[in-house]
Amino acid sequence: MSRLTELPSWKALWSHFTRARDWHMRELFEEQPARASQFWLEHAGLHLDYSKNRITGQTVTLLLQLAREAGVPEGIAAMFAGERINTTEQRAAFHVALRNRSSLPMCIGGEDVMPQVRSVLQRMAAFAAKVRHGEWLGYSRQPITDVVNIGIGGSDLGSLMACQALRAHAHPRLNMHFVSNVDSAQLQDTLRRVHAETTLFVIESKTFTTQETLTNAHTARDWFLRRARDPAAVASHFVAVSTNLKAVREFGIDPSNMFEFWDWVGGRFSLWSAIGLPIMLSIGERNFLDLLDGAYSMDCHFRDAPLESNMPVLMAMLGIWYINFFGAGSHVIAPYDQPLHRLPAFIQQLDMESNGKRTTRDGTLVDYETAPIIWGGTGVNSQHAFFQLLHQGTHISPIDFIASLDGRGSLPGHHEILMANMFAQAEAFMRGRTADEARAELAAQGLDDEAIGRLCAFKVFDGNRPSNTLLLDHLDPFCLGALVALYEHKIFVQGMVWGLNSFDQWGVELGKKLAQGILDELEGLGTPAPRDASTRHLIDLYREQRARQRCA
Ligand code: G6Q
């Protein structure tokens, strides 16, 4: 028995669940007309309707009791106090300091990190302004027109997602490109679309040892040098974002062209740091600061609001309700705004890399489920694809519907259709369609009794499928900052309840090591290591194919 499953609130929730599993939300709405306002929260330009969940007030009370008994308030305080909550790496997880927009210090081990945070922010802003104003010139004295970010995982997804989400605010001259895959197809595609004279490469890597990133960076530099024909030109076309000054220097980037961040910033939580340089280049300093302001507002809310009205805590505990009690193994992120199309991938990494774990902070194995599989896609497109399973399949997968209320940039009629679809889906998932309703609908179409009898079962939807609806006042930097911080904190709370360290990623580290030995073998270096028959066969097949291709 684990500590979590021994908690009184955990046991109380199980007994509550024996009743709750039979409730239908359709009935809950009929019995409790005030649900929509009871289960509604607003903060930082975000509106959360969580009424379409299989909960009553008592469920929420018990879930919050669980949060308290699991030490969530203490965990929140420890995070903001800069404690080394990343216990396996003995580091703070202090991304909240990156968006501390007050003048108050934020300390790790007694040292205020704010002076260094502000100093890097100022350097980023000065650099971004030069590039944006056309004052940062390439080797042929032309302004920069294209920015190529080379990075992967946490050094890619956040900036990519935010640049796409905020493209309405993008600088008109600067085209943003992101290269992450070591499959050269991506880099080749990008290099085909840019000119060496007007391209800035931003090499982003916390460690500056990541094989994929360094391979792409070296290839990009070779490509560049073949055109510029002058190693001195690298200085005006390559900048680095890293914690590893030595490796950046070894790569050949002048330290004055390096933007620093720190080991207390986790990769997937780093878009607020210098890793957000592509975002600042694209949307400018003022908008980047708005992004930080939005996150800061959510941070203050998370730190100070009572659990009952704390948006990240409530979303986290609703997730726990479905994962640990209903056995929901996945969670869908469905943004309806097209610019948010990379949000599901971003949150997928944030959640699954943070809480996709089964060893608790004290080293014991869990005896309960942890992170769900996060998946999703833009809402309307998903309606025409995988929503079928969500409506009538055998799995329960809670959904977050996300959209901006502001349709001002939209062409006439489009935004209303978009929103109508989203509201209709959330309603349908909640209500479903009963057999009587299905029969009535078929009869209204003029079908006879025999046809109605034959088709009715297929037209029935159980409903009772939970969802949150998150509305943004605007899809702007402030609301995006608040939205991302909301998910960061939600995930942290779930990690706290499950007793996990949400800030390490040993699975990723393993991947970084594994490939090297096989790479040597693929290249015919060293003695082949003893391997299982399958891996041996795959390696041999690849080598044979390559040998044949070389001869052809
Ligand atoms: C994020 C992960 C991982 C990391 C990449 C890139 O939290 O640790 O996605 O960001 O592996 O690592 P580098 O930034 O060190 O290249």
pLDDT at 2: 65
Least confident window among 131-135, 244-248, 547-551: 547-551
For the CA of 153, the nearest atom of ligand 1: 9
How far does the centroid of ligand 1 lie from the alpha carbon of residue 427, in Å? 39
Give distance in angstroms: CA of 367 to centre of ligand 1. 29
Alpha helices in 243-310 (DSSP H): 245-251, 277-304
* 353 has catalytic annotation: yes
State which amino acid sits at residue 349: Q
* Ligand 1 pocket list (CB less than 6 A): 152-155, 205-207, 210, 213, 266-268, 353, 505, 508
CA of 269, closest atom in ligand 1: 7
Nearest ligand 1 atom to the CA of 213 is 16
- Tell whether the torsion through CA atoms of 297, 298, 300 and 301 is positive or negative: positive
**Active-site entry in 197, 204, 212, 353:** 353
Distance from the CA of 348 to the center of ligand 1, in angstroms?
14
**Which pLDDT belongs to residue 1?**
54
Atom in ligand 1 nearest the alpha carbon of residue 242: 14
Amino acid identity at 375: W
Other Cβ atoms less than 10 A from the Cβ of 136: the count is: 18
Nearest Cα residue to atom 16 of ligand 1: 205
Would the pLDDT of 509 be above 90?
no
**pLDDT value at position 230?**
96
**pLDDT tens string 354-369:** 999 999 999 999 999 9
* Nearest Cα residue to 485 out of 23, 76, 127, 64: 76
Q: Please write the tens of the pLDDT for every residue from 232-258.
A: 999 999 999 999 999 999 999 999 999
Contact call for residues 258 and 215 (beta carbons, < 8 A) = no
List beta partners, residue 359.
365
Confidence of residue 109 (pLDDT cuts 50, 70, 90): very high
pLDDT given for residue 97 in this prediction: 98
- Given phi > 0 = left and psi -120 to 50 = alpha, else beta, which region is 434? beta
> How far is Cα 326 from Cα 365, in angstroms, rounded to an integer?
21
Mutate to test the pocket of ligand 1, among 150, 505, 506 (most ligand atoms within 8 A of CB): 505
Query: Token digits for 505?
Result: 């990623």
**349-362 per-residue burial string, b: 16 or more CB within 10 A, e: under 16:** bbbbbbbbbeebbe
Question: pLDDT-based confidence at 163, cuts 50/70/90?
Answer: very high
Residue of 89, 91, 95, 152 with the most ligand 1 atoms within 8 Å of its CB, for mutation: 152
For residues 365-394, give the mean pLDDT: 97
How far apart (Å, rounded) are the C-alpha atoms in residues 161 and 291?
A: 13
- The pLDDT of residue 65: 98
Distance from the CA of 498 to the center of ligand 1, in angstroms?
23
User: How does pLDDT run across 294-336, given as a tens digit for each residue?
Assistant: 999 999 999 999 999 999 999 999 999 999 999 999 999 999 9
Q: Which of 159, 210, 348 most suits a substitution to test ligand 1, by most atoms within 8 Å of the C-beta?
A: 210
In the reported structure, the alpha carbon of residue 156 is separated from the centroid of ligand 1 by a whole-number distance in angstroms of 9
The pLDDT of 139-160, averaged and rounded, is 98
Task: Determine the Cα–Cα distance for residues 92 and 87; give it in Å rounded to an integer.
Answer: 8
Q: Name the residue at shortest CA distance from atom 10 of ligand 1.
A: 154
Ligand 1 atom nearest to CA at 353: 7
- Active-site option among 171, 218, 474, 512: 512
Residue 513's pLDDT is what?
A: 78
Q: How far is the CA of 213 from the centre of ligand 1 (A)?
A: 10
pLDDT of residue 75: 98
> How far is ligand 1, taken at its centre, from the CA of residue 153, in Å?
5
The phi-psi region of residue 484 (left if phi > 0; otherwise alpha if psi is between -120 and 50; otherwise beta) is alpha
- Please report where in the chains the tokens 């490939």 appear, as a residue: 515
Residue nearest to atom 1 of ligand 1 (CA): 267
pLDDT of res. 512: 77
CA of 270 to the centre of ligand 1 (A): 10
Picking from 154, 514, 130, the residue whose alpha carbon sits closest to that of residue 349 is 154
| Residue of 319, 300, 295 whose CA lies nearest to 483 | 295
Q: How confident is the model at residue 526 (pLDDT cuts 50, 70, 90)?
A: confident
Q: Which atom of ligand 1 is nearest to the CA of 151?
A: 16
How many whole angstroms separate alpha carbon 394 and alpha carbon 527? 50
Classify residue 384 by burial, with Cβ atoms within 10 Å: 0-12, 13-18, 19+: exposed
Q: What is the mean pLDDT of residues 506-514?
A: 84
E runs forming strands in 407-519: 467-472
How many whole angstroms separate alpha carbon 159 and alpha carbon 279?
6
Please, which residues bridge with residue 400 across strands?
Answer: 333, 468
146 neighbors 198 (Cβ within 8 angstroms) = yes
Pocket test for ligand 1, best of 206, 347, 350 (most atoms within 8 A of CB): 206
Q: Pick from 508, 510, 512, 514 the residue to mutate for probing ligand 1's pocket: most ligand atoms within 8 Å of its CB.
A: 508
Phi-psi region at 363: left, alpha or beta (left = phi > 0; alpha = psi -120 to 50): left
> How much distance in Å is there from the Cα of 439 to the middle of ligand 1?
54
Counting from 1 in the atom list of ligand 1, the atom nearest the Cα of 268 is 7
- Interatomic CA distance for residues 223 and 401, integer angstroms: 43
Query: Could you give the 3-state DSSP secondary structure of residue 374?
Result: strand
- What pLDDT, on a 0 to 100 scale, did the predictor assign at position 63? 98
| Lowest mean pLDDT segment, chosen from 141-155, 274-288, 507-521 | 507-521
> Where are the extended beta strands (E) located within 438-520?
467-472
Task: Measure the CA–CA gap between 328 and 330, rounded to whole angstroms.
Answer: 6
The model's pTM: 0.97
**CA 208 – ligand 1 centroid, Å:** 10
Kindly indicate the confidence band of residue 429, based on its pLDDT and cuts at 50, 70 and 90.
very high
- Cα–Cα distance, 284 to 278 (Å, whole number): 10
Measured from the Cα of 154, ligand 1's closest atom is 10
DSSP state at residue 345: H
